[in-house]
Structure 1
Amino acid sequence: MYPLDQYGLVRRQAALADDFSDHELRAAVRSGDLIRLTPGVFVPRSDSFDGARGADRLYRLRSIAVATSEPSGGYPLSHASAAAIHDLPLLRPDRKRVHLTSGHGSGGNITADRHLHSSLLGAADVTVVDGVSVTTLARTAVDVATSGRFAQALTAFDSALRADVDRELLAAALTGRRYGVRAARRGLQYAHKDAESVGESWSRAQMIDAGLPGPVLQREFRCPSGKYRCDFCWGDRLIGEFDGAVKYGRLLRPGESVSDAVLREKRREDELRALGFMVVRWTWDDLAKGALPGLLRPWLVRLDLMAA
């Protein structure tokens, strides 16, 4: 119904040229047929914007809308906005606004829908993804890591390493930084490419902060039903599994329902217990409450994996 550009966005000028009026566009926003992303740019409402994954898609489009609009000044997307373009998973990213970086040491500003950061950018710090100028994966991870807490820095660097960004490149990008560099350097110290999700990274951050012994990540076991990988493993006694809501969707096989995947995971756990392991599971809610150390420590002590 509406004229769409290459990103699936409705631009006001294109809509007016296609005989839509401003009154019709405003009415479509009020009725929910269109979502206003930034002045003069909209997207048709879709079920694909529902849920956490949908929010990710919508923020990505919002970032593209801002970056490709005249008021952006041609600045590259950065921080959480660049991460959305790169599909770099983050912990609690700052999505109140779209983030851009000026490339200058001063002159940043914040408006209702965008945050322009004042920071120098070299030619190697900027790339183009899908026709949009963004900071590189390495620069994006460092920007995010120096803007948050240890858990956010660890998650950003885990994600970057998982995307094959070189650790030395990340370390070099931290050189000369001041603000937030302490948490970022600590995050890079513990970062590991085998952390497969934001939940696993956040779990490790809580383990590290609590002084718990470090687990082996993604250890494999052969069981009667097949070969299994576990999120976390301590010695030959304890296995830890993060149960994210998205996890079961990711595990679905062709023709399977979520219930099928849950039952298969239950069988997997039974077979791991038969090998002599205690299996401890936790959820997003446990992480949000900071409850993970309290769940793990009693078992680590009981199984002689740490001192009381």
Structure 2
Amino acid sequence: MEDFFETVAGHRGGYILRPDLLDLGVDDRQIRDAIRQKLIVRLRPGTYAPRGHRDLKPEDQHRLLAFAVQDKLPSGIVLSHQTAAVIHTGVSHGLDLGTVHVTRRGGMTARNEAKVVHHGGVLPDEDIVEVDGHLMVVPARAALETAAVAGTEAGLVQTSFVLRNGVSADELHERLGRMGRWPGATKVRLSVLWASPECESVGEARSLYMFRMGGLPVPRFQVEYFDADGCSLGRVDFAWEDYWHLGEFDGLSKYGRLNPYSGADLGQVVVDEKRREDGLRRLGLGMSRWVWADLHSPVATCRRIRAAMEQSRRLYGNVPRTVLV
């Protein structure tokens, strides 16, 4: 039976509609039984996905939900706001993945229904792009719409990622200038002004937001240091060179499922990181580290980093350094 649902879903790009099952002789009682047996997952009324849906990343689950929603709506409706942003960037910090956002071409009255938010407003043709057969707003507009609805931090993550993916800062600023009196325009403005394409992860983008809100100087990103023999001691996430201090956000990419040892030897990762940090300290540089949980306490974390920066400047202020971007 599991193979049957997978086959039916394959014809629609990963999801199943109730009429599909009824046409194939599966009645509502059998659909309820399949949900209870966890053979299928209910996405929204009358829309389901095979059990493998649970194994997808949250962003991929949202993508599937969005496509299923759009396919049941009238033509002329495009995916927008955080829904389009998640599809374009693959990241979803601060966003509600249980709700799909859409906009009708030519404008409409805003309204909500089950798991769908309909936005009004004019949507010109040049703001629309097709992805995997589905129409949605272009990455730059999606990022700005996200900031307007979800706030500056979530918007900063999205604007940083679209910049990293090739959208120009000029385009973001030009679009910002055209937003006029959009609701949430102040949040959008900050997300554009503070964004950086040098953020390589959500954690780094959130760290940048924390620095801005906490009054810390904006550091240089992704700076590589060398020893006296010209051998690389490694690249660091952040460098406050006026303070002789470095910063590292330690996330899953370093210690979790994406570590260079494929999860087989986390101890080796920790040992290598300790050696790298010791080498950098021998150059006369201090270092602060923080993890995801520290981003939830930004005031305390910034206070700790600030104190460490001041200490590094006192201890290492006259030590020469060799740096390569």
TM-score by length of 2: 0.84
Aligned residue in 1 for 2:319: none
Task: State the alpha-carbon separation in 2 of the partners of residues 78 and 175 from structure 1.
Answer: 19
**283, 286, 304: which one aligns with 1:295:** 304
Task: State the alpha-carbon separation in 1 of the partners of residues 154 and 292 from structure 2.
Answer: 15
- Structure 1 residues 115 and 202, CA, compared in 2 at 3 Å: closer, same or farther? same
- 2:137 maps to amino acid: T
Shift of 1:78: 0.9
Q: Does 1:80 align with 2:82?
A: yes
Q: Is the CA contact (8 Å cut-off) linking 1:127 and 1:135 kept in structure 2?
A: yes
Task: State the alpha-carbon separation in 2 of the partners of residues 199 and 63 from structure 1.
Answer: 26
Q: Does 1:239 align with 2:243?
A: no
**93, 99, 102: which one aligns with 2:101:** 99
Task: State the alpha-carbon separation in 2 of the partners of residues 132 and 203 from structure 1.
Answer: 33
Aligned residue in 2 for 1:56: 59
Q: Does 1:17 align with 2:23?
A: yes
Shift of 1:149: 2.7
1:207-266 deviation digits (Å, cap 9, x = unpaired) = 112221111001012369855221111117211111123443333256854444333333
Q: Is the CA contact (8 Å cut-off) linking 1:86 and 1:137 kept in structure 2?
A: yes
Q: Does 1:193 align with 2:201?
A: no
- 1:55 maps to amino acid: P
Shift of 1:282: 0.7
- 1:75 maps to amino acid: I
- Structure 1 residues 187 and 167, CA, compared in 2 at 3 Å: closer, same or farther? same
**38, 51, 54: which one aligns with 1:45:** 51
Q: Does 1:180 align with 2:178?
A: no
Task: State the alpha-carbon separation in 1 of the partners of residues 301 and 84 from structure 2.
Answer: 31
Shift of 1:152: 2.2
Shift of 1:6: 5.0
Task: State the alpha-carbon separation in 2 of the partners of residues 287 and 176 from structure 1.
Answer: 32
Instruction: Determine what percentage of the aligned residue pairs are the same residue.
Output: 31
Q: Is the CA contact (8 Å cut-off) linking 1:49 and 1:57 kept in structure 2?
A: no
**248, 258, 263: which one aligns with 1:250:** 258
- Which range moved further: 110-119 or 290-299? 290-299
TM-score by length of 1: 0.88
Shift of 1:13: 2.9
Task: State the alpha-carbon separation in 1 of the partners of residues 301 and 86 from structure 2.
Answer: 28
Task: Give me the CA root mean square deviation.
Answer: 2.4
Q: Is the CA contact (8 Å cut-off) linking 2:62 and 2:98 kept in structure 1?
A: no
Aligned residue in 2 for 1:265: 273
Task: State the alpha-carbon separation in 2 of the partners of residues 73 and 27 from structure 1.
Answer: 33
Aligned residue in 2 for 1:7: 13
1:17-40 deviation digits (Å, cap 9, x = unpaired) = 333222222211122221111232
Q: Is the CA contact (8 Å cut-off) linking 2:143 and 2:159 kept in structure 1?
A: yes
Q: Is the CA contact (8 Å cut-off) linking 2:83 and 2:100 kept in structure 1?
A: yes
Task: State the alpha-carbon separation in 1 of the partners of residues 54 and 273 from structure 2.
Answer: 28
1:22-66 deviation digits (Å, cap 9, x = unpaired) = 2222211122221111232211123x735xx72222222111211
Q: Is the CA contact (8 Å cut-off) linking 2:211 and 2:302 kept in structure 1?
A: yes
- Structure 1 residues 72 and 62, CA, compared in 2 at 3 Å: closer, same or farther? farther
**Partner-residue secondary structure (3-state), 2:61:** helix
Aligned residue in 1 for 2:322: none
**5+ long unaligned stretches in structure 2:** 315-325
Alignment of 1:102-117 (within 5 A): 102-117=104-119
Task: State the alpha-carbon separation in 2 of the partners of residues 167 and 140 from structure 1.
Answer: 14
Count of aligned pairs: 301
Q: Is the CA contact (8 Å cut-off) linking 2:17 and 2:46 kept in structure 1?
A: yes
- Structure 1 residues 226 and 10, CA, compared in 2 at 3 Å: closer, same or farther? farther
Task: State the alpha-carbon separation in 2 of the partners of residues 247 and 274 from structure 1.
Answer: 22
Aligned residue in 2 for 1:278: 286
- Structure 1 residues 257 and 66, CA, compared in 2 at 3 Å: closer, same or farther? farther
Structure number with larger C-alpha Rg = 2
Task: State the alpha-carbon separation in 1 of the partners of residues 59 and 124 from structure 2.
Answer: 28
**Partner-residue secondary structure (3-state), 2:226:** strand
Q: Is the CA contact (8 Å cut-off) linking 2:17 and 2:47 kept in structure 1?
A: yes
- Which range moved further: 221-230 or 97-106? 221-230
- Structure 1 residues 75 and 207, CA, compared in 2 at 3 Å: closer, same or farther? same
